[in-house]
Amino acid sequence: DEDGESELLDLAIVGAGISGLMAAKTISEKRADIRFRLFEKSTHPGGTLDGLKTRWITPHHYHAMNLCRELQIPLGTVWRQSEASEARRSLVSIGPFRKRPSGSQGANSFMSSLRDLLVRLESTRFMAELDCLCTVKYIESNAQNMECFLQRKLLFEASRRFFRFLIKIGTGFYPSELTVAACLRLFRSMSSVRDLYDMLTLQNSHLQPAGSPNWDVLIERLVARVGPEHVTYSTNIVQVEISSDQRSDIVSLTDGTGRRWRARFVILAVSCLDLVQISILPEGPLYFHQPDIQLGLWSMANFTVRYPAPYWRDHGYTGSIFCPAQCLICYESGGNQLSGTYFSPLRGVLNDTERHLIRDTILRLLRTNFACRTMQKPLEFGLELHPIPFYFDVFPTFERCIIFSSTNVSCWYRGFINGSIQGGVRAAILALLEIRPQTITFREVTDMQCMHFKYFRQRSSYERVWYSLNLASVSRFLLGVGAVLLTYGAYRV
């Protein structure tokens, strides 16, 4: 209202992405006469549904699969929807453990191949160990730093670099910013470490709406469930102010034009990058600080490249690339089109020169990986640059009236479809506990607190012992035995 005396809402939801719409859906289905409204800064709902993190789900993602069944959205695998499904049987994907090209001969080639094999075995074994640790009912308290954990568990630096990259792009944190227990909880919210890896490498089990390469149908049906009259578009909330009333605290929201709304409770269902742009008064939470850089990655370059023909298929490739050494992820998003993300070490505001440098780097990497010179001559090239968010440490609620959909429990994973759904449900239940606690069942409260328990898997004692064996421990044992034998030999001499 122009005079600042607008109708008092029970709940205001900032952000009409999957997380915000899921929170609104949960609220509206209670039919408890709760006055709520969603505020979206763009002209359409859905958030960033065209990026790397919101492309697909897997059958292991309980909450996303359950929502698709409820909204009657048929799903199909990505491979079967390709125009070249028959030809894909002989095509290969480029992964982080690809064999080296057979150019060199002799002992050097043998040693390189042996090293690559050991790195692959060590990484896949450690991935299984993490799954064994994170898919149990109760994760043991472990305050050890995750970076130190990687140093102790992994022998090769190539394996450590792979897991640093996987943890960063999956959770939003560097290993040095996480404890072992916190990292395991993040992985459990994704169902497993292996599931995260398969999702980033685009395996055959990936699902998307049948007959459509995007998730617009999910957004449309969520908006229909919520009600279009509850969504206000082109409203960029820039300030949230908490003021004390005679009965309780009132939260005032102000957009970029100075227009104001009032609500008893607010859910901030926005990304980390948008969250830091909102001023919280009179004193906001300190929810981020400069990261302890391990990889030197500062920005994400989301790209889409279109060619006259799928040249990569002619060279025997599917179009999927997951290469931590080159900080590149790529997948086929159309018949003649590739999309993906390149993680750049450039920081700050990028000018045109740096944008051209990133563009040339991406095309060069595509040409090198697919062994095809024509990859450097696309018909179209689209590029969007975003800074990588800093380390976030946010409590689920602030002053009992501001609720965060993205928290320190699961930060960047909220960008994936399943994580966004989890964040929306969790924020809605927290809001209902304050607004209409009588509408919440015991099962919903436990589901909110133990949401990741949906992904339990029983592990046998044999599996636990097998997963605990690693090359780093064996190497330390052999070094210890060698030192003892050397000392004994010197003593005998």
Q: For 106-117, what is each residue's pLDDT tens digit? A: 556 778 888 888
Q: What is the mean pLDDT of residues 130-159?
A: 89
- Bigger pLDDT: 178 vs 465: 178
89 pLDDT exceeds 80? no
**Is residue 250 scored above 70 in pLDDT?**
yes
Strands 36-39 and 231-232 turn out to be: parallel
Taking residues 361-390, what's their average pLDDT? 89
Token pair for 163: 């897991």
Q: What is the pTM of this model?
A: 0.84
pLDDT of residue 451: 64
Q: What are the structural domains, with CATH classification, of the chain?
A: 8-75+212-293+392-453 (3.50.50.60), 108-201+460-472 (1.10.405), 298-387 (3.90.660.10)
222 and 25 Cβ atoms separated by less than 8 Å? yes
Question: Is residue 88's pLDDT more than 60?
Answer: no
pLDDT of 224 over the 90 cut: yes
Q: Please state, in angstroms and rounded to a whole number, the distance separating the CA atoms of residues 345 and 211.
A: 37
19 is in an annotated binding site: yes
Q: Which amino acid is it at 405?
A: S
288: nearest Cα among 388, 385, 400, 399: 388
The more confident residue out of 238 and 336 is: 238
Mean pLDDT of 386-406: 78
Given a cut of 80, whether residue 413 has pLDDT beyond it is no
CA proximity to 372, closest of 338, 344, 345:
338
Say yes or no to pLDDT of 86 above 60.
no
Per-residue tokens: 67: 């929502």
Of the candidate ranges 26-40, 320-334, 352-366, 413-427, the one whose mean pLDDT is the lowest = 413-427
The answer to whether the CB of 273 falls within 8 A of the CB of 389 is yes
Q: Average model confidence (pLDDT) for the chain?
A: 83
Residues 362-373: tens digit of each pLDDT: 999 999 999 999
What is the C-alpha to C-alpha distance for residues 132 and 365, in angstroms, rounded to an integer? 35
Q: Is the pLDDT of residue 454 over 80?
A: no
Looking up tokens 């909110």, which residue turns up? 448
Least confident of 178-187, 244-253, 423-432: 244-253
Residue 385's DSSP bridge partners are 301
pLDDT (average), residues 279-293: 76
101 pLDDT above the threshold of 70: no
Euclidean distance between CA atoms 392 and 394, whole angstroms: 6
- Indicate whether 165 pLDDT > 60: yes
Which of the listed ranges 20-34, 160-174, 288-302 does the model predict with the highest average pLDDT? 20-34
Helix and strand totals (H; E) in the chain: 15, 19
The lowest-confidence range among 11-15, 39-43, 205-209, 274-278 is 205-209
Question: What is the structure's pLDDT at 265?
Answer: 95
How far is it, in rounded angstroms, from Cα 21 to Cα 429?
14
How much is the pLDDT for 393?
A: 65
pLDDT for 239: 96
Per-residue pLDDT, 417: 85
Tokens of 100: 């080296």
240 pLDDT more than 90: yes
Tell me which of 344 and 53 has the higher pLDDT.
344
Give the pLDDT of residue 4. Answer: 47
Residue 360's CB is within 10 A of a number of other CB atoms, namely 11
56, 206 Cβ separation under 8 angstroms: yes
Q: Which of 170-184, 217-231, 248-262 shows the lowest per-residue confidence on average (mean pLDDT)?
A: 170-184
The CB density around residue 276, as the number of other CB atoms within 10 Å, is 15
Q: Of 46-55, 75-84, 126-135, which range is least confident?
A: 75-84
Give the pLDDT of residue 105: 52
